[in-house]
Amino acid sequence: MPRLVIKYMVFIAGLMVSTESLGQNAARNLLRVDSAYQAQQLEANIRIEQYLKKNRIGRVAYRSDGTIMALVDVSESGVPIYIKSDNAGVATSLSVDQLRNGGNLGLNLEGQGIQVAIWDEGKVRNDHIEYNGRVAQMDSPSGFNRHATHVMGTILGAGINSNAKGMAPKATALAYDFFSDVSEMTSQAKPDQTSIILSNHSYGTLSGWDKNGSVWTWYGDASISSTRDWKFGFYNSTSGLYDEIAYNAPYYLIVKSAGNDNSDTGDGSKPPDCDPFDCIPTNGVAKNILTVGAVKKLTDPYTNPSDVQITSFSSFGPTDDGRIKPDIVAPGQNVFSSTSASASSYEALSGTSMSAPATTGTLVLLQELYKNLHGGNLMKAATLKALVIHTAREAGENDGPDYRFGWGLLDAEAAAKTIIDSDDLNVFVKELSINNGEVYELNLQPKENTKITSTLVWNDPAGQVLAPALNPTTKMLKNDLDLRLVDDGNTMQFPWKLDPSNPAAAATKGDNAIDNIEKLELDNPEPRNYKLRVSHKGTLINGKQDFSLIITYTSLIDSRVSYYWIGNTGNWDNGANWSLSSGGVAANVVPGSDDKVVFDENSFTSDNQIVSLTQPQQCYSLRWFANEQISLSLNSHQLTIKDGLNLLSKNISSITPGVILFEGTIATDAIVNLNDNNLDDLALKFSGLDARWQITGDFKIDQIEVIEGNVTIGEHHIQLNDFIASGILSKTLTLNRTTLSGVSNTLSLDFSNVLLDGEEIQIEVPSLATYNLDVGTNTFDGSIELMGGQITVTGSGVIQSVNGFGVLIIDGNLIWDDIVLNQGTTLNIKEGTTQVITGVFDLQASVANRITIVSPGSSVATIMLEAHNKICLDNLNIENVAVTGEATVNAGTNSKLINSPNWLQASCSSILFPDFDFEFNCEKASVFFKDKSSGPIVSWRWNFGDTNSNQNLATTANPIHFFEGQGQFDVSLEISDGVNNRQYTKKVQLNETILPANKVELSNGRLISFLPANKYQWVLNGELLQDTNLRSIDFTAGQGEYAVLTFDENCNRRSDTFLVTAVNGDYKVEPIEVYPNPVDHSLFIEDGEINFIKLVNYVGQEVNTKPVSTEKGWRLDVSDLPAGIYILKIQSSNNWSARRIVVR
C-alpha cells in the first residue's frame, strides 16, 4: 500500500473523530482540512522533486493546444500524476434566457450581489472588456491564461459581444490558479453565509489516454493495471477533502467538470478510457460537489429527452462504489466566450470545462433569486443541488437517471419557478435536520393523477480514502438517509436507483444505499392520503444529519389561484384587469383573500401606468416582477395580505394614501420585500398571533404599525414618519443593523408598547429634523447619530450611545452606555431625572462653540457616572445639573456653572486621580498590577488586602503580588502629591487556574523550571527579574528567594520558592589533584598541605560527608549523595580554592 495513502487515511479518520467530539465546530474542521492538505502536499512535493531530478523535466508541461498539464504527485511505483483542464446558445439551452429581462418569468436576474470563485489553469485576463473591474486575481500566476479567461467569461461575461454574454453578467468573482486549490478553498469557506457560495473547477486528474498533438500517451499505473487507469471512478484524497470542505461549509457548492475522456481512444495498445462507462477521474467523484457533463446545445426548444445529445468527449460514470455521476449535464460544445489574446478577443472552445462554468453561472442566478425572495438569505448548497436535480429535464433513452446524463439537463426556468412557487402547500423547499432514531414525515393530499416529485440531498461526511486499486467497491456513503412515500394503505414508493454492475441498464426504483441524492417520482397518485418520510439506516455519524428536501405536487386542498394583472392602468376591482395566466385572457374575476396576485412582464406595456383601489381589497400574497415605472393609488383604502409581499422591481411608487394590512396566523412566516421603492403615502400594519414577518429593502414609507406578531427588519435604511405599536396584544420588533430616519424632517418612534430586540440599530437625525424616540423599558442596542437636528428621548430603558452635534432632550430616567457630543450641542435634561452613564461621557466643546448642559426648572437633574474615570472637559455652560458617581469630573476652568454640584473646576493635570488595572488574577499566581493614575504623583502605597501575607504592602508604581489565599480581595491604591492623598479600592477576584504546580531545580549550575510552559518569568524576592523569560537562569542576580512564573493565555502560576544563600565562584584554584570527576563512589583529594575540606551543593548548603585521611590526602564517600553538581571547598595553607564536582 502506498505510503502517502496510509498517512492520509489516518488523518481523515482523525477528522471524523474530531467532528464527532467537537459537534458543530465546523470552522475548526475547515482548518484541519487545510492542515491535511498541506501535509499531503509536503510529501507530494518531496516525491515530485525526486522525480524531476531523475527525469530532468519541468513541473508544468505546455500542450500543443496551448493548455497545460501540471505534475501534482508521483505514485509509489514512480508514475507521474498530472492535472489538466477539461475544456450564444448555452443560455437558451439551459433556459437562462427566461430568467433575464423579457423572459417568461418576468425576472431580470443578472447575478447582482453574488460572488463566485474559480480555480483554473492560470491567470484570468481580468482587464477583458467582458468583466473588467469585476474579477480579482487572488494569487500571482504569470501571464494571462486562455482557458481561465474563457471559463470566467462563460460565467459572467457582460455581453459586450452579445454572442459571448455569460450566465451572470453582473456577478463578481475571485480567481486562483489550481496549484493550491484545497488550501485556498478552505480560506474562503465558512460555516455560515459569509462563505464563498460557488466555485468552478474545470480541471481534473490526467487519467488514462491523453493526446498531445498527434502523440498518444497513457498515464495509468501498470503496477496496478496494465489496461485500465485506476484513477477513473476512484475516490482519492482530494475527493475526501472536497467533501470535508462542503460538509463544514454548508452554503458552499463546488462545481466540477466531469472530464473529457470519452474521446480518448488511445493508440490501440490499450482499451479506450471509456469502454464506455467509468471514466470520470478522481476529484470529480466527490459526493458533496456538483459534477457536470457536457451535451450539445439545443437547436430548438426542448420537447423530449431525445433533444439532449451527449458530446463525444463527456466522461461517464459510475464511480467505483456505484454512485451516479455526472450529477447534471449542460452545453459544452463550441462555447463562444472571452479569451486571453487581448482585452477584446473571443473564441469557441469545447469540453466539460465549458459546461461546468455555464452551470456555475446559472446557479448564481438561482441564488440571486432566492436571496431576493428570502430577505437576503441564501440557499444551502445541498438545497441548490437538490433544486437543480429536481427540476432537470429528462435526458437519455430511459426514464430516471443514468450514468451518461446523470439526472438530466439543467433547467434554469424550472428551478427558478420552483423557488418562486414555494408555498409549503404545493411546492416545498425545505432545509431540515434528522437526529439518530428520528423520522421526518410530511402529509400530502394529492389531486388524483397529478405527479408527486420529491428530491432529497445531503452533504455527507467524507468517505475513507483507500489505497490505489482498480475499481474498489467500498461504499463511500457514511450517513444513509432514505426517502419513501407511503399511502394510507401502507403501499410504499421508492426512489430511483442504478445498477453499477450493469451501467447501461435503465434505472429502477428501490432502496438506494449508495448515493447521497434520492429522487422519488410518482406519476399517478390515487385520491388518498400519503406520507413522505425521511429516515436513516444505522447510526448517524455526529448523531445528526442536515438535509434538503424539494417537493412539488398539486394539493387537493389548495384553494389558491394565481391571478396575473393584465390591465396596464386600471382598477384592482375590475375583473377584466386580471387573468389566470401571464398575459392571458381576462378572467373577469377579482382576486380574493386566498388568491395569489402577480404583476409580471406581461402586466404593463409601458411606463407610467397606475394601479388603483376604489374599495378595500385582499389577497393571499403579492409578487411584483414587472420592471416598468408604475404608481400605486390606494385612495385611502386598505389592501389586506395574508402572507407576503415581494417587490422585485425598484420602480414602484405611491401617489395617494392607503394602508397595507398584513393579517397573519400562527403559521405565517413571510417576507415583506419593499425593495428600494418610495411608498411614502402608505402605512404598513401587521397583525396576527405569533405571526412572523421579515421586512426588507431600503424604502420610504409613511408609517409602520405593529398590532400583534413579530416583525424583523435587517440591514436596511428605512425612511418613515411614524412607528407605533398599538393595542394590548403581544408583539416584538427586531432591528438588526437597521438605519432609521425620517421621510421629511419629522419622525416619531414609539417603542414603549413593543418588545424591542436586535443590534447595531442607528437613528440618523439630520439638520432641521425634529424627532421623538420613546424606548419604553427596552434596551436600544444601537446609536443615535446627531447630524445637526433635534431628538427628544423618553422612557426608562437603556440606550447604547448618542453621538454627534445638535439638540438632545432627555425626559425620563435612562441608562446610557456612551454619550459623546460635539461642539455646539445642547443637552437638555428634565429636572428631577437621573441619567446613568455606564461608559464614555465626552463633551468635545471649544471656545468658539461651547456645549450647553441645562435642566429647565427649579430643581436639578443628575448625571450619574458609574465608571471609575477621570473626565476632563472645558468650555461648558452648565445649569441645574449635578454630577455624581464613581468618576472624577472636571468641568474646566473656562466653563460656567450655575447651581451644578460636584463638578470640579481646575487644571486637569493638577487633579490627583488614583486608578489601576491588573492581569493574571488567578489562584497560585503572581498578579501583575499596573498603575493608571494621573496627576502630580510623588508616591504610591498599595494594600493588597491579603492579611496572611508578610508582603501585603508595596510602594512601587507597578508591583506584583502573590496572594496567599483564594477568592476575592479588596486592593487599594493610595497616591500622594506630597500634600494631598487620594485612594481607590477595587475588588480582585482570583480565578481558578489549570496550570499545574511547579518547582525550581538546580541543573548544571543553573536554576531551571521543572515544568515546560509557553512562557516564563523569573522572580527574585517578589520582584520581576528583567530579561529572564527562558526556562533556566544563572545566579547573577544574587542571593534570595527565587521563583519562576509559568503562563498560559489567562493565568500564571508561581512555583515554590528556591532559597539561594551563598554562591561564590571566585575562589583561587590551587594545584590540588581531585579525582575521579565525575564520581560514583569515592572522591580523592591529594595534597599534603590541606587543612580543611567541605562539600556543598550549588546553593551553599553543606553536605554531610566526613573526609577520611589517606596516604596522599583525603577521601570522601559520595555514594549516598543525590546525583548533581556540587562545590568542593578546600583550605590549603592560607588560601581557599574550589572545584566543581559532578556526582553520578
Which pLDDT score, from 0 to 100, does residue 801 have?
A: 97
**Sheet hosting strand 981-989, strand order edge to edge:** 953-954, 939-943, 968-976, 981-989
pLDDT band at 15 (very low <50, low <70, confident <90, very high): very low
For 266, the grid coordinates are: 488511445
Where do runs of H (alpha helix) occur along 285-380? 352-373
For 315, the grid coordinates are: 466522461
CATH number of 80-418: 3.40.50.200
Which pLDDT score, from 0 to 100, does residue 13 have?
A: 27
Asked whether the predicted pLDDT for residue 1131 surpasses 90, the reply is no
- The answer to whether 148 and 124 are in contact (CB under 8 A) is yes
Percent share of the chain, pLDDT over 90: 72
- List pLDDT tens digits, range 135-173: 999 999 988 999 999 999 999 999 999 999 999 999 999
Which pLDDT score, from 0 to 100, does residue 737 have?
A: 95
pLDDT band at 512 (very low <50, low <70, confident <90, very high): very high
Of 419, 378, 385, 425, residue with least CA distance to 625 = 419
Q: 1050 or 548: whose pLDDT is higher? A: 548
Asked whether the predicted pLDDT for residue 1074 surpasses 90, the reply is no
- The answer to whether 608 and 629 are in contact (CB under 8 A) is yes
pLDDT band at 922 (very low <50, low <70, confident <90, very high): very high
Which pLDDT score, from 0 to 100, does residue 18 have?
A: 34
pLDDT band at 5 (very low <50, low <70, confident <90, very high): very low
Peptide bond into 1078 cis (omega under 30): yes
Cα(146)–Cα(124) distance, integer angstroms: 8
Which pLDDT score, from 0 to 100, does residue 59 have?
A: 78
Cα(854)–Cα(850) distance, integer angstroms: 13
- The answer to whether 765 and 785 are in contact (CB under 8 A) is yes
Asked whether the predicted pLDDT for residue 17 surpasses 70, the reply is no
Q: 1012 or 903: whose pLDDT is higher? A: 903
φ, ψ (nearest 5 deg) of residue 802 = -135, 135
- List pLDDT tens digits, range 218-237: 999 999 999 999 999 999 99
Cα(115)–Cα(243) distance, integer angstroms: 21
pTM of the model: 0.70
- List pLDDT tens digits, range 987-1009: 999 999 889 999 988 877 788 99
Asked whether the predicted pLDDT for residue 118 surpasses 70, the reply is yes
Cα(225)–Cα(10) distance, integer angstroms: 26
φ, ψ (nearest 5 deg) of residue 908 = -60, -35
Asked whether the predicted pLDDT for residue 372 surpasses 50, the reply is yes
Work out the average pLDDT over 519-536: 95
HSE-CB of 621 using CA atoms within 13 angstroms: 24
pLDDT band at 19 (very low <50, low <70, confident <90, very high): very low
- The answer to whether 621 and 644 are in contact (CB under 8 A) is yes
Asked whether the predicted pLDDT for residue 796 surpasses 70, the reply is yes
Q: Where would I find the beta strands (DSSP E) of 968-1030?
A: 968-976, 981-989, 1000-1003, 1006-1009, 1015-1020, 1023-1024
Asked whether the predicted pLDDT for residue 43 surpasses 90, the reply is no
- The answer to whether 927 and 988 are in contact (CB under 8 A) is yes
Q: Where would I find the beta strands (DSSP E) of 138-190?
A: 172-177
Which pLDDT score, from 0 to 100, does residue 1120 have?
A: 85
- List pLDDT tens digits, range 1079-1104: 888 888 887 577 778 887 755 567 77
CATH number of 1000-1060: 2.60.40.10
Which pLDDT score, from 0 to 100, does residue 21 have?
A: 38
Of the ranges 92-96, 112-116, 221-225, which one carries the lowest mean pLDDT score?
92-96
Cα(529)–Cα(992) distance, integer angstroms: 61
Return the CATH number of 916-989, one of 2.60.40.10, 3.40.50.20, 3.40.50.300, 1.10.3720.10.
2.60.40.10
Asked whether the predicted pLDDT for residue 401 surpasses 90, the reply is yes
Of 751, 755, 766, 761, residue with least CA distance to 801 = 761
Cα(810)–Cα(483) distance, integer angstroms: 61
Other beta carbons less than 10 A from residue 222's beta carbon: 11
- List pLDDT tens digits, range 972-991: 999 999 999 999 999 999 99
How do strand 630-633 and strand 609-612 relate by DSSP bridges? Answer: parallel
Cα(296)–Cα(403) distance, integer angstroms: 17
Cα(102)–Cα(91) distance, integer angstroms: 14
How do strand 815-822 and strand 798-811 relate by DSSP bridges? Answer: parallel
Please provide the average confidence, as pLDDT, over all residues in the chain: 90
Of 475, 323, 473, 458, residue with least CA distance to 403 = 323
Which pLDDT score, from 0 to 100, does residue 1068 have?
A: 40
| Stretch (H or E) spanning 21 | helix 3-22
φ, ψ (nearest 5 deg) of residue 907 = -70, 130
- The answer to whether 464 and 474 are in contact (CB under 8 A) is yes
Asked whether the predicted pLDDT for residue 353 surpasses 90, the reply is yes
Cα R_g (the chain), whole angstroms:
39
Asked whether the predicted pLDDT for residue 945 surpasses 80, the reply is yes
HSE-CB of 376 using CA atoms within 13 angstroms: 15
- List pLDDT tens digits, range 681-721: 999 999 999 999 999 999 999 999 999 999 999 999 999 99
CATH number of 1073-1143: 2.60.40
Asked whether the predicted pLDDT for residue 8 surpasses 70, the reply is no
Cα(911)–Cα(1100) distance, integer angstroms: 52
- List pLDDT tens digits, range 716-753: 999 999 999 999 999 999 999 999 999 999 999 999 99
Of 656, 597, 659, residue with least CA distance to 631 = 656
Buried b (16+ CB within 10 A) or exposed e, 474-499: eebbbbbbbbbbebeeeeebbbbbbe
- List pLDDT tens digits, range 462-501: 999 899 999 999 999 999 999 999 998 899 999 999 999 9
Of 812, 808, 843, residue with least CA distance to 827 = 808
H helices then E strands: how many in the chain? 9, 84
Work out the average pLDDT over 289-315: 94
Segments making up each domain of the chain, as ranges: 80-418, 422-461+478-552, 762-903, 916-989, 1000-1060, 1073-1143
pLDDT band at 88 (very low <50, low <70, confident <90, very high): low
Q: Which CATH architecture has domain 422-461+478-552?
A: Sandwich (2.60)
Cα(29)–Cα(397) distance, integer angstroms: 43
Q: 1065 or 858: whose pLDDT is higher? A: 858
Asked whether the predicted pLDDT for residue 1064 surpasses 60, the reply is no
Asked whether the predicted pLDDT for residue 777 surpasses 70, the reply is yes
Which pLDDT score, from 0 to 100, does residue 2 have?
A: 30
Say whether 916-989 and 80-418 share the same fold: no
Work out the average pLDDT over 4-19: 29
Work out the average pLDDT over 817-836: 97
Cα(1012)–Cα(884) distance, integer angstroms: 50
Asked whether the predicted pLDDT for residue 1 surpasses 70, the reply is no
Cα(159)–Cα(168) distance, integer angstroms: 10
Cα(15)–Cα(32) distance, integer angstroms: 7
Other beta carbons less than 10 A from residue 428's beta carbon: 18
Amino acid 171 reads: A
